[in-house]
Structure 1
Amino acid sequence: MADDHIRDPHLPEVHLRPPANWINDPNGLVHHDGWYHVFFQHNPQAPTHDRVHWGHYRSRDLLRWEPQPLALTPELGRPDEDGCFSGNAVSHEGRITAFYSAHRVGHPWQPVAAADSGPDGSTFVKRPQLLVADPPSGVTTFRDPYVWRDGDRWRMLVGAGCADGDGAALSYTSQDLAEWTYDGPLHRRADAAPSDSGIRTGEAWECPQLAVYEDGRALLLTSAWYQRTGPSHVVAWNGHRDSGDFRFGTATRFDHGPDFYAPALMRAPGGRWLLWGWSWEARDESCAKEAGWAGVLTVPRELTLRADGSPHQAPARELDGLRTSTWLKATRAQCGTTSVLGSVGPAADITVRVGFAGDTAWGLRIMCGTGSADHDDAGYLDLEIRDGALTVDRGHASADARAHVGAYRMPLPELVPDGEVELRIILDHSIAEIFSGSGEALTLRFYPAQCESWTLVSRGLASDAVDVTVTAHELRTPDAATAG
C-alpha cells in the first residue's frame, strides 16, 4: 500500500508493503488483543537487502493496516548487528514474543534471539541472552525459528542444511519460552537430483512453518535454498500426528509461479490458518534502485487441506470487502475467435468459469490498457488452459527489457471433458496471484508500460465451443475500504 506521493505505476495498491525501500519475508504473524499483526523483513534506508529490520503493520479486519514503529533494529555489538532476520511470534501472557535470526556477516549460521513487546504489541525489548547460540553438530546452515504451542509445551522449528546434504527442519522444546532443548530433526531429506522426477526440496530449508489441524493432519512448509543460487521455491509436505510427533509423506510444490517465497502462517480466530508470502521483484536490481522500492507481500490466503492432505489455497474471505464496480459477462468461445470481455481497473479481483465440451482448451489474454482484441502493443499476459494445466506466459507483459520473462504451468486436475474449471485472478499493477478452484496457486510479477486498466480478451482454442463466464470486480485501496 502506497502513500500518495509515490506515483510509480508498478507499485501495488492492495498488497501490503511499506511506502518505499526493501521488503522481503513476512515474519511474526500473530493475532494479539484483537489485532492482526504482520511483521516483515525491511530495510528502511534503501531498496536493497542490507541490514534488515522488522517492519510492522497491524489491522482489525485484514483490510485497513496501521503502520507501527519498527519492531526490531540491528544493534552494533550485538549478535544481530548486521540484521534481524526471519522468525515468528506468539501471543502469550499479555504480550507478543518475537523469535528471530540474529545475523552477523561472515558467520555461517544465525543464532536464535527473542524480544518481548509491551501489552499493545507495538514496541519490543530484546532479551539479553540468545535462546539457541549454536547449531547442532553436523548442521552447516541454521536460521528462521518458528514457535508454536503444542499441548503443555512450546515447540520450535529451525530451518537447516546438514553436512551430509540433507535439508531439515530441526525441532526444539521448551516449557517457558526461554530454555530450549534440541530434540532432533522433525523432518529431513536430501535434495533430488535435477534429472529425477521428484520435486527438488533444496540443499537447505529456510522458514519452516507448521500448520496442525483439528483432525491431526498437518502441513509442513519449507522454502528451498541453494548455496550457489539462493532462494528458489516453496515445498509443502503433507503429514499427520503419530504417537505425539509428526510423520510427513509426499512433497509438492506449494506455489507454481516464479515469484513466491518464504510464506509465513498465522493461526487466526476461529481456527483458520492464514498465510502471507513474499513476492520478489522479477527485474534487474537496477530497476528497483531506480524505483526506490522492492518486494511485496501477497494477499492473505486461507490454507486448508484437501482429502489427500495436500494444501488448498484461496484468497482470505476478507478480501471481498475491497470489491467495487462489478461487471459480469457470459460468452461462447468459438474455435479460432477472439472477443473482448470487458475492462477493469489496475487492481482487480476476477473470477473466470469455463465449461468445456470434448476439447479442453481455452485462452485468456490480459491486455494492458483498453482497446480491441488485436491491439496488444502495450503488452499482455497470456493464460492458456490445455493438457491438464494452466500455462501463464509473461513474455509480452513487460515494457522494460530488464524484466524477467518465461511461461509457468499450474496443474488443473479438474480439467476433464464435459467439466468446468474455475480461476480466480488477483491483479494489482505488477503482480498477479492466480488460484484454481481445486486450490492450486501461481504467483508472478510483470511490468507493463502503464497500469491504468486491464482488458480481458477471450481466445477460442478448442475445436468446439466453450462456455465462459467472467465476474470482474475493481478493488479499492484498503484505506478506502469498509471494515468487514
Structure 2
Amino acid sequence: MSTPDLHLPTIHLRPPRNWINDPNGLTFHDGHYHVFFQHNPHGPDHTGIHWGHHRSTDLVTWEELPPALTPTPGGDDADGCFSGNAVSDGDRMLAFYSAYRTDRWWQPIATAESRDSGLTWRKHPGLVIPTPPEGTSMYRDPYVWRQGERWRMLVGASVTGERGAALLYESPDLVDWQYRGPFFADGPDVDGGWTGWECPQYATFGDRGLLVVSLWDAVAGPRSTRVYVGGEEAGRFAPTGHGPLDHGPDLYAPALLHAPDGRWLLWGWSWEARDQQWSHEAGWAGVLTVPRELSLTENGTVRQQPASEVLGYRGRKVVHATGWSADDDLGEVGTAFDLTARVRPNSDAPCGLRLETAPGEHLDIVVDPVAGELVVDRDHASLDPRAHMGRYRIPLSGQRRSVDFRVIVDGSIVELFLESGESLTVRCYPTGPTPWRLRAFGEPEHIVDVWELDAGGRRTAIGHDELHTAAS
C-alpha cells in the first residue's frame, strides 16, 4: 500500500495528478457552476496545456469532466489552449481563450462552444482576434462579459513604455469585435518594474468597479496580483486606489464568476512553493483556492471571505479552546481543517497560534501589537530544504487589541482571512506525521474552534463512456 501524500489537498479543486494552473472559463450555465483551468493531463509540467473542467450545482459536490479544450496539432493552438473565460449565451456556453504557439509572441483569441452543458466542445474555425493592436509587446488572456446590450472583452497586454494594460473590445453579437483602446494602463511599478498584465478581470458593484490584474515580468515571470478600485469615465476605467489582492506569495491569476444570486466569486491559482524535482516525485503541481466571495465596502475597501458554501466541508469539531495561556496545547488536528480564532495580546509581545508538525517544524500565525500586523511565518514550516520559506504580513488597521481571523489548511495550502476582509495565501510542506498539534504561544487571550474538513464522496468523474452517451 502506498503512503498517502499529506501535501495533496482534500477539498480544493484540482485533478488527482499532473499539472494545473490558471482558473479559466468560470461561468454558471444550465444549473451548474463551471470551473475550467489550465491543465497538462500527461505530467506535472506547464506544457501541452488543455482546459481541465469541473462542474457543480452547489459549489461543494463536484464532477470532474474530460478536458474541454485540447490543442489541435498544426492549428492556431497547437502548443496550448491558454487562459480565457466563458459566457452563458442562451442554450450554449461560449469559451474565449488564448491560442498558444511557440512561433509567435502574442496569443490570438480563439473560441469554442458547447451545447450540452459543457460535456463536449466544438472549436470555431479561424480566430476572433488574430493580431494585437500596434504598440503592444504582450497580448493574451481574454475576459468577456455582458454589459447592457453589448458584450465587452478585456485582453491583457503590455503597451509602449513597459506599462501593463487591459485592452478593451466591444461587440453586439460575440462575433464581430471592435477595438476601443486601453481600458486602463499603468506602470512601470515602483519596486523594480514589470512588463505587462495577464488575466484581467472586471467586477461591477453599481457604478463602481474592480479591475483585477496579474503582474508579469519578462525576466522573472509571474509576480503578483493587484486590484484597482474605481469607476468608468467615457468608456475608460478611472481608478481611485489600488493594492494587493492577496498578501501572500502563492496566489496568482485569479478569475471571477458572477453567480446567479448576485455574488462575485473568485478562484485563484496557488502555485507550488517547493523545488520542481519534488513536484515531479509527487506527480502533481498546483491547486485552486477555495471559492471566495469578493465584495466592495462603502469606503472602497475590497473584502474577501470563503464562499459560504465552504462551510459544507466542515465535519467533526476537534478543538474548542478559550483562556489566557502561554505555550498552551490546544489539541490535535489533521491535515485538512477549518479554524476560526480571536487572539487578544496580553502585552506588547508578539503572540498567536502555532501548527506544530514535528520537533522544530511549525507554521506560526503571529499577532504583533507593536508593529500593528499579522504575520504568517513559514521559516520553520518544513524540515525539507526543498520547501520555500518566508514571513508574510497583513497590516492591522486601527487600534484593535483583538484580531479575528479564519484559516483553512488543506494539505499544503494555507488560506488566511481577516475579519476585515484581507487575505493571505501560502503553501507549506510539513514532513511530520499526523496528527499535528495546535498550540497558543505568547500568553494571548484566545478563542479557537477547529473543524475537520472532508470532501467525503463529493468528488465524481464522468468517464468517456458516459460522455459518449451524453453527447449522442
Deviations 1:205-246 (A, max 9, x none): 000000111x21111100000000000110000012335553
Are residues 1:257 and 2:257 paired?
A: no
Deviation at 1:344? 1.6
Aligned partners of 2:221 and 2:119: how far apart in 1? 32
Three-state SS of the structure 1 residue aligned to 2:392 is strand
Aligned partners of 1:248 and 1:105: how far apart in 2? 35
Three-state SS of the structure 1 residue aligned to 2:417 is strand
Q: Residues 83, 223 of structure 1: CA spacing in aligned structure 2 closer, same or farther, 3 A cutoff?
A: same
Aligned partners of 1:6 and 1:266: how far apart in 2? 37
Q: Which residue of 1 aligns with 2:190?
A: 193
Q: Which residue of 1 aligns with 2:351?
A: 362
The answer on whether the counterparts of 1:10 and 1:451 sit within 8 Å (CA) in structure 2 is no
The answer on whether the counterparts of 1:378 and 1:449 sit within 8 Å (CA) in structure 2 is no
Three-state SS of the structure 1 residue aligned to 2:261 is helix
Aligned partners of 1:322 and 1:303: how far apart in 2? 20
The one-letter code of the counterpart of 2:440 is S
Three-state SS of the structure 2 residue aligned to 1:271 is coil
Three-state SS of the structure 1 residue aligned to 2:431 is coil
Are residues 1:446 and 2:437 paired?
A: no
With normalisation by structure 1, the TM-score equals 0.91
Three-state SS of the structure 1 residue aligned to 2:312 is helix
User: Matches of residues 198-213 of structure 1 in structure 2 within 5 Å?
Assistant: 202-213=194-205
Aligned partners of 2:255 and 2:458: how far apart in 1? 27
State which of 445, 448, 461 in structure 2 corresponds to 1:470: 448
Deviation at 1:310? 2.7
Aligned partners of 1:104 and 1:239: how far apart in 2? 35
Deviation at 1:475? 0.7
Three-state SS of the structure 2 residue aligned to 1:77 is coil
The one-letter code of the counterpart of 2:64 is P
Are residues 1:297 and 2:288 paired?
A: yes
Deviation at 1:378? 5.9
Same amino acid, percent of matched pairs: 50
The two structures, once aligned, show a CA RMSD in angstroms of 1.8
Aligned partners of 2:138 and 2:456: how far apart in 1? 39
Aligned partners of 2:346 and 2:354: how far apart in 1? 21
Three-state SS of the structure 1 residue aligned to 2:216 is strand
Q: Residues 18, 152 of structure 1: CA spacing in aligned structure 2 closer, same or farther, 3 A cutoff?
A: same
Aligned partners of 1:52 and 1:450: how far apart in 2? 34
The one-letter code of the counterpart of 1:238 is V
Deviation at 1:309? 1.7
Are residues 1:147 and 2:131 paired?
A: no
State which of 380, 392, 395 in structure 2 corresponds to 1:411: 395
Three-state SS of the structure 2 residue aligned to 1:289 is helix
State which of 278, 294, 299 in structure 2 corresponds to 1:287: 278
Three-state SS of the structure 1 residue aligned to 2:340 is strand
Are residues 1:227 and 2:218 paired?
A: yes
Could you tell which deviates more after superposition, 26-35 or 249-258? 249-258
Three-state SS of the structure 1 residue aligned to 2:310 is helix
Deviations 1:9-37 (A, max 9, x none): 21110110001000000000001011010
Aligned partners of 1:35 and 1:297: how far apart in 2? 18
Are residues 1:349 and 2:333 paired?
A: no
Unaligned runs of 5+ in 1: 369-375
Deviations 1:427-476 (A, max 9, x none): 01111000101111110111111463331111116xxxx42100111111
Unaligned runs of 5+ in 2: 460-472
User: Matches of residues 65-464 of structure 1 in structure 2 within 5 Å?
Assistant: 65-194=62-191, 202-213=194-205, 215-243=206-234, 245-326=236-317, 327-333=319-325, 337-356=326-345, 359=348, 361-368=350-357, 376-377=358-359, 379-386=361-368, 387-414=371-398, 416=399, 419-450=401-432, 452-460=434-442
The one-letter code of the counterpart of 2:174 is L
Q: Residues 450, 96 of structure 1: CA spacing in aligned structure 2 closer, same or farther, 3 A cutoff?
A: farther
Deviations 1:78-133 (A, max 9, x none): 11000000000000011110000000013111001010001322211011020111
The answer on whether the counterparts of 1:6 and 1:19 sit within 8 Å (CA) in structure 2 is no
Three-state SS of the structure 1 residue aligned to 2:457 is helix
Deviation at 1:420? 2.3
Aligned partners of 1:268 and 1:453: how far apart in 2? 37
Aligned partners of 1:265 and 1:350: how far apart in 2? 25
Aligned partners of 1:360 and 1:30: how far apart in 2? 47
Three-state SS of the structure 1 residue aligned to 2:102 is coil
With normalisation by structure 2, the TM-score equals 0.93
The one-letter code of the counterpart of 1:473 is W
Three-state SS of the structure 1 residue aligned to 2:38 is strand
